[in-house]
Amino acid sequence: MAEPVTEKATVELTIDGKRVRAEQGEKILWAALAEGIAIPHLCAIKEAEPPLGTCRLCLVEVEGQGVVASCVESVREGMVVHTDGERAVALRRRAMELLLADHPLECKDCPKKGKCDFLQLSIAMKVKRPKNYRPFPREELPVDASHPRIIFDPNKCIRCGRCVWVCKERVGEVPFDFIQKGYEMRLTTFMDKPLGESDCTGCGECVEVCPVAALCFKEGG
């Protein structure tokens, strides 16, 4: 005999003046998106636990609490959320400006031209590459085309962590991870070996979740 389905507890909160019901423990971001309330985000993966919380583009304001990352903060009964709060919007814009300032904007020749989540989001947020920032010191790293199916360009990586999570948690491989800290942090392969010498099977899950062209399929791949 099948066990009865237990209904999950829900809470009621308010997002931008709209009353919303969401499962207890759900993150603000997913509760808002389910109701058609847009919150910009790049790094978020719903299944990721703990949440990645790296891009800082999903910041919102919670009354009595202040600015929080909506992909990390869980909903609570009676919570009041403002996605368009002045401080949250300003911080989101600054986060996007920093990402744009550190990203090689070679859009005309980019393999993801027309399909770049990062560029599309910057346009939706009406944020352009800042002209008043000092150039970030960059070390141009070689593009890795050693894999028969996938090209890895570490220079385009925005360090969202989506590929690391999907390879490890969904596929069960660990071809990628981050090394170093702060601004020096970068994505690389295990032991810094060419991707073609790693345990990558070429399933393409990492390419599918990459919001930029750091990971792309080769032509015909």
Residue-level pLDDT at 190:
84
Residue-level pLDDT at 140:
87
Q: Which two tokens stand for residue 119?
A: 């560029």
Over range 58-82, report the average pLDDT: 98
Do residues 48 and 93 touch, judged by C-beta distance below 8 A? Answer: no
Residue-level pLDDT at 181:
85
pTM: 0.90
pLDDT above 90 (res 33): yes
Can you give the C-alpha Rg of the chain in angstroms? 19
pLDDT above 70 (res 5): no
Of 206 and 6, the structure prediction assigns the larger pLDDT to 206
Q: Which two tokens stand for residue 194?
A: 């060419």
Question: For the chain, what is the mean pLDDT?
Answer: 92
176-179 and 150-152: which strand pairing? unpaired
Do residues 67 and 113 touch, judged by C-beta distance below 8 A? Answer: no
Amino acid at 2: A
Q: Which two tokens stand for residue 129?
A: 């590459």
pLDDT above 70 (res 146): yes
pLDDT by residue (tens digit) across 190-207?
888 999 999 899 999 999
> With bands split at pLDDT 50, 70 and 90, how would you rate the model's confidence at 99?
very high
Q: How far apart are CA 135 and CA 101, in angstroms?
A: 8
pLDDT by residue (tens digit) across 152-197?
999 999 999 999 999 999 999 889 999 988 888 899 998 889 999 9
CA pseudo-torsion sign 122, 60, 32, 49: positive
Q: Which two tokens stand for residue 34?
A: 């389910």
> With bands split at pLDDT 50, 70 and 90, how would you rate the model's confidence at 113?
confident
**C-alpha closest to that of 150 among 186, 115, 188, 195:** 195
Q: Residue for token digits 């810094």?
A: 192
Residue 21: its H or E element: strand 18-23
Q: How far apart are CA 178 and CA 186, in angstroms?
A: 5
Q: How far apart are CA 143 and CA 91, in angstroms?
A: 32
Cα end-to-end distance, the chain, whole Å? 48
Residue-level pLDDT at 173:
87
- Which spans in 44-191 are helix H? 86-101, 117-124, 162-165
Over range 47-76, report the average pLDDT: 97
Q: Where are the domains of the chain?
A: 10-135, 144-221
Residue-level pLDDT at 134:
75
Could you say which architecture CATH assigns to the domain 10-135?
Roll (3.10)
CATH 3.30.70.20 at 144-221, yes or no: yes
Residue-level pLDDT at 153:
96
Over range 82-101, report the average pLDDT: 96
Alpha-carbon distance values, 213 to 15, 25, 150, 155 (Å): 33, 33, 11, 9
Do residues 105 and 61 touch, judged by C-beta distance below 8 A? Answer: no
Tell me how many degrees the CA angle 129-131-136 measures, rounded to the nearest 5: 80
